[in-house]
Amino acid sequence: MTDATTVEAPVNRAKRAPPTAEEIEEARAKKQKLQKPEGMSKSEWKRQLKHQRWEESKDEYRQIKREKKKAAAKRKKESDIVVPKKKIPETQTPTDVSVIMDCDFDDYMSYKEIVSLSNQITRAYSSRRHSDYQVDLTITSFNKNLKQRFDNALSHYKHWQNIQFVESESLAAYLPEDTSKHVYLTADTEEEIQDLEPGYTYIIGGIVDKNRHKKLCLNKAKELGLKVARLPIGKYIEMNGRHVLATSHVYELLCKYFETNKDWGKAFDEVLPPRKVKGKVESGEKETEGGEENDDEEEEEVGEEESLQKVADGQSVPAENNA
Ligand SMILES: C[S@@+](CC[C@H](N)C(=O)[O-])C[C@H]1O[C@@H](n2cnc3c(N)ncnc32)[C@H](O)[C@@H]1O
């Protein structure tokens, strides 16, 4: 068989300087030397050529990939908004509104999604502490993989104040007998919230699933005989993609509702990441058909305990502050 290892690798031609006349001539000569070995099928010949081209170019390809990755990481780091540490208010105005994050969905999530949910709870905790209004937060069914994730990566949570982690078997086991003032929040209903009512408890589904499990929370609420409601998003803003938000955004919105003197429009404006709001994409940011957690919120790997604690302390918030 002709030695085809001399075939010119077509990697990243677009980025290279145009070939010189000599290079073109050389490539042509090399190509002419290549002949399909007798008896070999055309497709096998093509496959072999492709493989050889890959073998020749893979180091260069990997190098380029490494550089791209480095550049992307650098860009991300530079775009991170370092929010000046907001002081934790000495006192919070009571609202008589409380929130349950129903975390009985471990079995519906991949490990990565559990990590993402733990990061979202960390953000919610940060909102809980930094808000000027007191919106009590309880994490229920904290008893399986999510708890393990916290135990392993964020053991500081055991010292967190003003948040309750409840190891209840299920949401039902935690709820009182009279649930007439409990509302399960879900994007899957036409019922829309107007105000957050004193004495009421709002339940957020503690799940990260890119909305794979449609109506999961709606159906659960129905089974438990709970009222359901969605946030009045459409009334105030036009969103890119679905109206399904990340748990941390929903909790933060509820706090922001009070901080903005009960102005949902302002609350959405302040909490939702620009990429989720039509016409609000900042330069350099990609407008996406957003699910509840795109990308980096979904995949956000705050990771290290120290970094997570910083998020809880409100020291550094990635620009997307996702979902
Ligand atoms: C990522 S979503 C979960 C989506 C899930 N497939 C479901 O069945 O709800 C996390 C939770 O945030 C709350 N949520 C998200 N978007 C909402 C919206 N537009 N209105 C009300 N609640 C919302 C709901 O409680 C929801 O369960």
Residues 45 and 177 in one domain: no
Residues 176 and 301 in one domain: yes
Range of the domain at 127: 94-312
> 73-106 pLDDT, tens per residue?
877 776 655 556 678 999 999 999 999 999 999 9
Distance CA 245, CA 272 (A): 9
For tokens 């990997």, name the residue.
62
Mutate to test the pocket of ligand 1, among 250, 268, 294, 322 (most ligand atoms within 8 A of CB): 250
- For 90, phi then psi, to 5°, come to -65, -35
Residues 253 and 298 in one domain: yes
Tallying the residues shown for the chain, one arrives at 323
Number of domains in the chain: 2
Q: Give Cα 107 distance to the centre of its chain.
A: 19
In a domain, 87, yes or no: no
Contacts of 280 (CB under 8 A, 6+ apart): 274
Residues 142 and 210 in one domain: yes
Q: Whose CA is nearest to atom 26 of ligand 1?
A: 205
Comparing CA positions, the residue from 258, 257, 244, 252 lying closest to residue 292 is 244
Residues 106 and 147 in one domain: yes
Residue 5 and residue 55 in contact, taking contact as beta carbons nearer than 8 Å: yes
Is the pTM higher than 0.75? The answer reads no
Residues 131 and 232 in one domain: yes
Amino acid residing at 209: D
Residues 46 and 164 in one domain: no
In a domain, 9, yes or no: yes
Residue 144 and residue 106 in contact, taking contact as beta carbons nearer than 8 Å: yes
Side-chain-facing half-sphere of 300: CA atoms under 13 Å: 29
Longest Cα pair distance anywhere in the chain, in angstroms?
85
Render the burial of 289-315: b for 16+ CB within 10 Å, e for the rest.
Answer: ebbbbbbbbbebebeeeebbbbbbbbe
Q: Whose CA is nearest to atom 19 of ligand 1?
A: 187
Residues 135 and 15 in one domain: no
For tokens 């007998």, name the residue.
177
In a domain, 116, yes or no: yes
Task: Report how far ligand 1's centroid is from the alpha carbon of 95 (Å).
Answer: 22
Residues 66 and 118 in one domain: no
List, in sequence order, the alpha helices (H) in 34-110.
42-79
**The token pair that represents 130 in the structure block:** 């930094």
**The token pair that represents 85 in the structure block:** 């540490």
Distance CA 37, CA 206 (A): 61
Q: Give Cα 268 distance to the centre of its chain.
A: 17
Comparing CA positions, the residue from 57, 63, 46 lying closest to residue 8 is 57
**The token pair that represents 111 in the structure block:** 């490990």
Tell me how crowded residue 272 is: count the other CB atoms within 10 A of its CB. Answer: 21
In a domain, 256, yes or no: yes
| Residue ranges for the chain with pLDDT beneath 50 | 1-13, 283-303, 317-323
In a domain, 151, yes or no: yes
- Residue ending a domain, among 39, 74, 109, is 74
**Residue 209 annotated as catalytic:** yes
In a domain, 224, yes or no: yes
pLDDT value of position 78:
66
Bridge partners for 134 per DSSP: 94
| Shortest-distance atom of ligand 1 to CA 210 | 1
Assess whether the C-beta atom of 216 lies below 6 angstroms from ligand 1.
yes
In a domain, 270, yes or no: yes
Residues 126 and 217 in one domain: yes
- Rounded to 5°, angle at Cα 226 from 224 and 227: 155
In a domain, 112, yes or no: yes
Comparing CA positions, the residue from 83, 101, 138, 97 lying closest to residue 255 is 97
For residue 105, the domain's CATH number is 3.40.1280.30
Distance CA 284, CA 59 (A): 30
| C-alpha distance across the termini of the chain, in Å | 55
- Known binding-site residue numbers for S-adenosyl-L-methionine: 185, 205, 217, 231
Residues 111 and 145 in one domain: yes
Residues 194 and 259 in one domain: yes
- Kind and range of the H or E run holding 222: helix 216-223
